[in-house]
Chain A
């Protein structure tokens, strides 16, 4: 276990470094039109020459590239990065958004996992029959929905025409758990639908594969009931790849996949902060959110890998290259 973790950590550090380099390249080096392109980009629209000069100084644009890289990372990680348009500290704004983002993503993840597994199971058990076909079409529709469209439809029909749910805003859990729940139902649904579609499709095909395995036949041969075979032998093994996917998806959603949902439902999370910054063409917040989002994904994936290796010895002994 030790060597595996060590190897995995080294790889993680390398990827984190490369990720930060890419963020640096995108924001500071990417050739734009004219001189001072990067400084002007960061200063924002309608920047005065004075402001551009300040940005040049803050980001050390007169120095060598490695020095510029270090300056940028220092700005982001020390929490001193400010938006030159709003004069607000980026780190503070991100911290404020975290409770909303986590509430949204964790709740949605529970929903998509539950329904994905339920639909995938039903689809596999009834493979080829009407239930399966109906669920397949539903799943494909789920993955083809533009998120903003689904959110708008939900708001128009379930909040305006028939006022069942509030059309947005975030209520912190500690203030009022009931309102927290009610306000999050539509955003959770919006975010979960896409994944329910995928998970049910992936689980269906995994289950159909597993059903051909010898140990399933053995379970039937020893006289287990069909229900037991399906849930205890087929479903359990078919769920293994789903759990890996879940780790990746959950990280990606927290790391920036929920931007549109947050924006439309006005949840004031990290994603909405990023979305508003895009609208204002304000780069420093986007810089920080991109870097933190990617870092979160890499860290979380490493965590999932290690947990996996702990649970399944095959991974840490050799075949890890494929699965890691």
Chain B
């Protein structure tokens, strides 16, 4: 990697006399790869701007209770079917007699029904948008965590032990890989929720729990992350530092988790970021089709689905939750892209969708 040296050459080192932690005798300051990555990332203004956008969205959804209690004075599930509100001095029905909800009134009613009502039940769309975002983000992040943990543990095992274990894990992944992801998600989502949920020994997850979509999404994307991690472990396993650790008498667990794992962090972090984005998109698709989150819980995807019946008269019920998904996913994708360039400028890891599914892809050289 020429770049670290280039960096060091630009700023010749003023050698700190009392700093013995710097074990570099050439007169250059030793810099950790993380520091170098941070420097590269800092220069990428676009990536940082989109990271800021992501944080704004997080703040927006975290502020949900504040808006609900202080401004809108209603909850996400409170219905106002027969009520009237005063908009700019005029009384208006929240839901008209033919079932049409009121459109966005902005600040016409002091923040109440800022984005109008959500349908014939007359719930406050803005409040629902903020609370729904919490669900969307929560599902995206937790399912990405599940994918990451599964992929790292099984990827390490497969890559390190090789042989039969590797073939077995590989075969299972091949089968999951064969399914179009959306179909697999739908199959699991409907099978689990039409019945009374999932029963695994003492644990029962009811059919309308958000843990069902979380587990499904976490599960179906595992192969897409496991493969590149396994590939990397295969390469690392042959390196001298593993041999050195073995010579020192390190056990397999220690080699896997304290020698190999640190070398995988940059891949894991990039994947994790892109995975959250992808999972949110996938959750929205599942929920839009009715195979994701279920009432009474709602996410941006299920809000769009519900609003879709009113697309002609109240298009904002679909376009606004959809826009929130787009902004969140875009911010994570752009930031993840910058993060990848910063952490490992040479790597070619990308998450690619295939009919709504991602696929990690390493350059085949």
Contact = CB atoms under 8 A, between A and B. Distances in A.
B32 interface: no
B361 interface: yes
B196 A198 contact: no
Contact of B182 (A156, A245, A259): A259
B92 to A, nearest CB: 24
| B-side interface size class | 35 or more
A152 interface: yes
**Which of B323, B353, B363 counts the most chain A CB atoms within 10 A?**
B353
Given A149-B325, A278-B190, A249 B355 contact: yes
A23 interface: yes
A281 B190 contact: yes
A152 B153 CA distance: 41
B354 A252 contact: yes
Contacts of B304: 146, 148-149, 152
Contact of A257 (B180, B308, B318): B180
B225 interface: no
Interface string A132-143: 000001001101
B94 interface: no
Nearest to A253: B355
Interface stretch (B3-11, B248-256, B328-336): B328-336
A209 interface: yes
B13 interface: no
Interface in A237-256: 241, 245, 248-249, 252-253, 255-256
B96 interface: no
A202 B348 CA distance: 10
A27 B200 CA distance: 16
Contacts of A145: 326
A252 B354 CA distance: 7
Contact of A149 (B174, B291, B319, B355): B319
B322 A152 contact: yes
Contact of B191 (A245, A248, A264, A283): A283
Interface stretch (A37-45, A118-126, A182-190): A37-45
B179 A290 contact: yes
A144 interface: yes
Interface string B341-354: 00000001010111
Interface stretch (A173-181, A219-227, A291-299): A291-299
Contact of B363 (A41, A205, A245): A205
Contacts of A44: 194
Nearest to B329: A144
A240 to B, nearest CB: 10
Which A-B residue pairs are the 5 nearest by beta carbons?
Answer: A257-B355, A33-B196, A32-B195, A149-B322, A252-B355
Interface of A: 15, 18-19, 22-23, 26-27, 30-34, 37-38, 40-41, 44-45, 137, 140-141, 143-149, 152-153, 155-156, 160, 194, 198, 201-202, 205-206, 209, 241, 245, 248-249, 252-253, 255-260, 263-264, 274-275, 278-279, 281, 283, 286-287, 289-290, 293-294, 297-298, 301, 322-323
Interface of B: 171, 174-176, 178-184, 186-200, 204, 206-207, 277, 281, 284-285, 288-291, 301, 304-305, 308, 311-312, 315, 318-319, 322-323, 325-326, 329-330, 333-334, 337, 348, 350, 352-357, 359, 361, 363-365
